[in-house]
Structure 1
Amino acid sequence: MRRLVLRIAVPSLLSLALVSLSGCGGSSLPGDSVARVGTVLISQEQFEAVCDSYVRAGKAPDKDRQPELFREFERTVAQHLVVLEVLRQEAPGYGITVTEEKVQAEIQKMRDMFQGDEDRFQAALERQGLTEAELERSVWERLLVEQMKTEITRGVSVSEEEVRAYYDAHKGDYTEGEVREARHILVSPFVTAAGDEVILPSEVDWLTAKAEAERIRSEILNGADFATAAAKYSDDEVTAENGGDLGEVARGQLVPEFEEAVFTLRKGDVSEPVRTQYGYHIIQVTDIIPGKQLAYDEVKENIRAALLADLKKRAWEDWLIERFAALGVVYRSDLEPRVSADAS
């Protein structure tokens, strides 16, 4: 039976991507606090609860073996809690409330994955090192971030002129590489013994295969039809019946020696025997389809989506930076971020 995994695990620090969101380090905090957002204190108890949930789930560095990484992990947890507190304080001003009903609706979707089997659901929670309360907290956090981000970036848009200007400035990024149509004849040095056992070829076998490939090539150069020769001689059973036809091939699809030959030959030329790990190949390029510049209409929606995502990211980061400054954020000095966080 396929094991189902809860996609919402411990409160996701990955929901907080890195930007410049440091606050002030200070000794003015009470001893049982790790940070302050405005007048709201984030307690040592809250901080330790999140750290412990990651440790239980096996998603934190080893404190004894990786002390520096563990310290950075603790800084990230502190940032995580600070950003969430900023969002919690700002949400009412945007008409955003994450209700218990919304949280439970999301959790019900997870339960539905287990088709009503509560034991399997609880087992999945246990494997993730989660309690139900931690799962509820994680879902609440995700919904808060998603709704706030949607609201803050609602007015961000990209004009047709901006999309066109980007395309004109980056045309070189929007091309299709050259494609070639080719066919081949494979002469393999590998011998299949009784019972389908494949015997590794000796150097004599390789020399024999090369001589046979040269003989076949000579036939073709003297007027024999390539496709007929492929059907008669090729050890590539997949392509032999189609005259050795490989169809369209692009760079990166073939073993290096074969690719080099295909993209060096002129149309109609028949290659010298080319050795690869499979044997000797006689290759002919039957058509060359040049690379082309992709038209604006072919790529404009991809460009628009990329530009919009970038603008929304910037708008979100700018808003967070402004709110950090306006609310006033203070970290306990040992948790002051080196790099800092943005809910993404």
Structure 2
Amino acid sequence: MKARIGHIVGTCIAWVRGQPIAPAGRPARVAGVVLLAVLVVGSGTAVTMDRIAALPAGAVFRVGDTVVTEAQLGDRITLLGALYGVQRPTDPAKLEQFRRDSAKAVAVSEVLSDAAAARGIVIADKTANDELTRLVETSYPQGRDAFLARLGGIGLSQPAVLDEIKRQLANAQLYDQVTKDTPAPTDQDLAQLYQQRRAEMAVPEKRHLRNIVVASQDQANQIRAQLAAGADFAAVAGQSSLDDSTKTKGGDMGAVARDQLEKPYGDAAFGAGPNALFGPVQTQYGWNVGQVLEVTPAVPLSLDQVRDQLRASTWQQRKLDTWNRWVVEQLTSARVRYADAYRPADPTGAPS
């Protein structure tokens, strides 16, 4: 559940620059709670989301005395697009689902904000402003003025971003309050979990690979045939591969674990024996022909080696379970009322 609040502004910075950057900022308990809150509501939970015909014209939903309009939802989607990468789909067939999912995401955000306020959680303007300043200084070398100017160019204001930072900080405190009494796993719990998951408790198998990527399957078949006939892999990679990061190294990718690779490529690479060729296999980058140079088997880990990590992950899962149940209770009590055009198809599930 731990995440970086810095990722929020970091993503925003990347968005206004038009290129990705690494997340920045100090750890926080909860980031992206607007999205998190709807992700943690499991399908099959009895949450009441009532329809009501008496909503004002142009309304999307009502939570208590708060009515969110279509215009307000549109503004929020713009903000979420900058801060979280949420984008309207270009496929007309997906627009209705996006509209309903967005309405639910914002509704859950309102419910959590109300819950935080009811518990007396208030984030001071200075706290949010200091956090924004620190994050911008960390991630945007041009400075705060330049950052805010770029925000204005995409229709976002400093107050809107500060409000989102306040929302994140408030929900971080809310999460801490809700989960503070969740019991930590005992040593006996960890021993039992270790036995249950022993097969997973290992440094994964790695394979030293080299690869050639080309534009078409026909070309990949030709290269596979050349290599099978004895052509030098490194020479062919240097001449033909489209992967600039490896072609100068003879296609050498180094040692990689299976989960570091696209699934079709990983399946092929980890299904081949030492020194064997594999492919052609298609990935997002093109058609690939690879070779396994060396196999490093998985190494089992002892309970002592994984104890701290297992304790942390298990405790965090328990806290998440506590949070899930509490969120459901809040949604049930709030009785969010949607206009029919915005009511989620599956109100108890997680929107996209």
Q: Give the structure-2-normalised TM-score.
A: 0.58
Q: 1:121 aligns with which of 144, 147, 156?
A: 147
Alignment of 1:1-344 (within 5 A): 6-7=9-10, 9=12, 14-18=35-39, 19-20=41-42, 23-53=49-79, 59-62=86-89, 65-113=90-138, 114=140, 117-126=143-152, 129-156=155-182, 157-176=184-203, 260-261=273-274, 293-339=300-346
**Corresponding residue for residue 214 of structure 1:** none
CA-to-aligned-CA distance 1:49-72 (integer Å, 9 cap, x gap) = 22354679985325xx52332222
| Runs of 5+ consecutive residues of structure 1 not aligned to the other structure | 181-199, 210-237, 239-248, 264-275
How much does 1:318 deviate?
0.8
C-alpha distance in structure 2 between counterparts of 1:250 and 1:81, whole Å: 40
**3-state SS of 1:335 partner:** coil
1:320–1:342 CA contact under 8 A, matched in 2 = no
CA distance 1:70–1:297, shift in 2 (3 Å): same
What is the root-mean-square deviation in Å for CA atoms of aligned residues?
4.6
Query: Which amino acid in structure 2 is aligned with residue 165 of structure 1?
Result: Q
Asked which structure has the greater CA Rg, the reply is 1
Q: Is the 8 A contact 1:152 1:316 kept in 2?
A: yes
Which sits farther off after the overlay, 149-158 or 36-45?
36-45
Q: Secondary structure at the match of 1:7?
A: helix
**Cα 1:74–1:174 shift into 2, 3 Å:** same
The equivalent residue for 2:21 is none
Structure 1 distance, partners of 2:269, 2:81, is: 46
Q: How many angstroms apart in 2 are the aligned matches of 1:175 and 1:129?
A: 48
In 2, Cα distance between equivalents of 1:151 and 1:160: 25
Distance apart, 1:85 and its partner CA: 1.8
**Structure 1 CA distance for aligned equivalents of residues 311 and 56 of structure 2:** 49
Any gaps of 5 or more consecutive residues in structure 2?
1-7, 16-30, 208-222, 233-248, 250-254, 261-267, 277-288
The 8 Å contact of residues 37 and 109 in structure 2, kept in 1 or not, is answered as: no
Conserved? CA contact 2:37–2:327, under 8 Å: no
Change (3 A) 1:117 1:338: same
CA 1:177–1:6 in 2, change beyond 3 Å: closer, same or farther?
closer
Q: Return the letter of the residue paired with 1:69.
A: K
The whole-number CA distance in structure 1 between the counterparts of 2:123 and 2:230 is 74
> Identity, % of aligned pairs?
19
Aligned residues of 2:88 and 2:95 also touching (Cα < 8 A): yes
In structure 1, give the amino acid aligned to 2:173. Answer: Q
Distance 2:206 2:148 in 1: 53
Does the 8 A contact of 1:8 with 1:139 survive in 2?
A: no
Name the SS of the counterpart of 2:61 in structure 1: strand
User: Residue 161 of structure 2: SS of its match in structure 1?
Assistant: helix
1:266-303: CA deviation from partner (whole Å, max 9, x where unpaired): xxxxxxxxxx989xx9x9x9xx9986642211112222
User: Residues 262 and 66 of structure 1: is their aligned pair in 2 closer, same or farther, counting only changes over 3 Å?
Assistant: closer
* Greater RCO, CA 8 A, separation 6+: 1
Q: Distance in 1 between matches of 2:113 and 2:91?
A: 33
Q: Distance in 2 between matches of 1:53 and 1:177?
A: 40
Superposed displacement of residue 159, structure 1: 2.2
1:321 deviates by 0.6
* Contact residue 63 and residue 111 of structure 2 kept, 8 A: yes
In 1, distance between residues paired with 2:165 and 2:325?
25
What per-residue deviation string (whole Å, max 9, x for no partner) do you get for residues 98-151 of structure 1? 222222122221342446734422344246542223212221222222221122
> Deviation per CA, 1:173-228, whole angstroms, max 9, x where unpaired?
22457899xxxxxxxxxxxxxxxxxxx9x98xx6799xxxxxxxxxxxxxxxxxxx
Give the distance between the partners of 2:126 and 2:298, measured in 1 at CA: 55
Q: 2:131, 2:115 → 1: CA distance? A: 23
- Once the two structures are TM-superposed, the CA of residue 30 in structure 1 deviates from its matched residue by 2.3
Shift of the alpha carbon at 1:320?
A: 0.9
The alpha-carbon distance between structure 1 residues 329 and 32, as it changes in their structure 2 partners (threshold 3 A), is: same
